């Protein structure tokens, strides 16, 4: 199976006409505001704009969210009416699957699509959190929000990234207010031996082997 990483952070599976997206964390901004951290409350709108652009570019028949699409259990109630309408328009235009995550174990049922715990795409299991793999198992997951850094021309460059070896891929977080965790952290070291990263630069996606990642 071939997978094509997109500049948006989505992943396209042409064999299945499927666009895969991880960790939107919709309404994280309003969640932070309730705790006294006030940021411009437009993260959901921006994430949906970028999602629409990715869909227009790939023209998938299926849209698959890898979990943590909503930042918490109250996110659905906090979404602005216009943003909710935009989300429903997206899911009305393409077959949509919501995989449950640790932030949204029960995604809302009134935004279109179906909800599952995990699913198969050919021989690959799609789930939110990466797991210990069985001998013949492969997976695509989210949850960890990978980022990588390299040194180039005397500068350290750090970007969101896809990380993968022959059996597992973890997607970058798609959401506007999501943080990112270094692929050199123990959370990734326990999952990967040798690997490559696909770093999302300003104009292109750049592939680096583990030995070049800092």
**188-203 pLDDT tens trace:** 999 999 999 999 999 9
Report the C-alpha dihedral over residues 186, 192, 194, 197, rounded to 10 degrees.
-80
Contact (CB, 8 A) for 125 and 4: no
Is 29's pLDDT higher than 90?
no
Is 102's pLDDT higher than 80?
yes
Contact (CB, 8 A) for 64 and 95: no
DSSP secondary structure letter of residue 16: G
Is 138's pLDDT higher than 80?
yes
Question: What confidence tens digit (pLDDT) does each residue in 32-42 have?
Answer: 777 776 777 78
Q: How far apart are CA 207 and CA 19, in angstroms?
A: 20
Total structural domains within the chain: 1
Contact (CB, 8 A) for 97 and 140: no
| Statement: the pTM of the whole predicted model exceeds 0.85 | yes
Report residue 24's pLDDT band, with 50, 70 and 90 as the boundaries: very high
DSSP strands (E only) in 87-167: 95-99, 114-116, 119-121, 124-126, 138-141, 146-152, 155-164
Q: At 32, which CATH number?
A: 3.60.21
Q: What domain range is 162 assigned to? A: 4-212
Q: How far apart are CA 67 and CA 77, in angstroms?
A: 18
* Max Cα distance, the chain (Å): 51
Tokens of 31: 């969640």
Mean pLDDT of the chain: 95
HSE (side-chain half, CA atoms, 13 Å) at 111: 23
Of 158, 155, 161, 168, the closest CA to residue 207 belongs to: 161
Measured between alpha carbons, how far is residue 166 from residues 65, 117, 202 in Å? 22, 24, 27
Containing 53, the helix (H) or strand (E) segment is helix 43-58
Q: How far apart are CA 47 and CA 7, in angstroms?
A: 13
Higher pLDDT: 90 or 36? It is: 90
Phi and psi at 31, nearest 5°, equal -65, -45
Phi and psi at 126, nearest 5°, equal -105, 130
Query: According to the model, what pLDDT value does residue 210 have?
Result: 97
Question: What confidence tens digit (pLDDT) does each residue in 46-89 have?
Answer: 999 999 999 999 999 999 999 999 999 999 999 999 999 999 99
Query: According to the model, what pLDDT value does residue 31 have?
Result: 80
């Amino acid at each position: 199976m071939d997978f094509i990483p997109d500049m948006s952070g989505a992943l396209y599976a042409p064999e299945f006409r499927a666009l895969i997206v991880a960790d939107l964390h919709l309404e994280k901004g309003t969640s932070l505001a309730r705790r006294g951290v006030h940021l411009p409350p437009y993260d959901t709108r921006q994430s949906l704009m970028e999602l629409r652009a990715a869909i227009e570019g790939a023209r998938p028949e299926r849209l698959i969210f890898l979990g943590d699409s909503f930042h918490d259990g109250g996110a659905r109630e906090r979404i602005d009416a216009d943003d909710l309408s935009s989300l429903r328009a997206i899911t009305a235009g393409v077959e949509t699957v919501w995989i449950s995550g640790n932030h949204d174990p029960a995604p809302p049922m009134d935004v279109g699509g179906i909800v599952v715990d995990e699913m198969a795409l050919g021989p690959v299991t799609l789930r939110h959190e990466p797991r210990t793999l069985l001998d013949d198992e492969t997976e695509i997951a989210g949850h960890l929000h990978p980022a990588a850094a390299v040194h180039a021309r005397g500068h350290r460059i750090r970007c969101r990234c896809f990380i993968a070896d022959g059996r597992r891929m973890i997607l970058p977080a798609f959401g506007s207010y999501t943080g990112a965790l270094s692929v050199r952290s123990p959370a990734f070291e326990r999952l990967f031996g040798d690997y490559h990263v696909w770093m999302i630069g300003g104009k292109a996606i750049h592939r680096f082997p583990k030995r070049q990642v800092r």
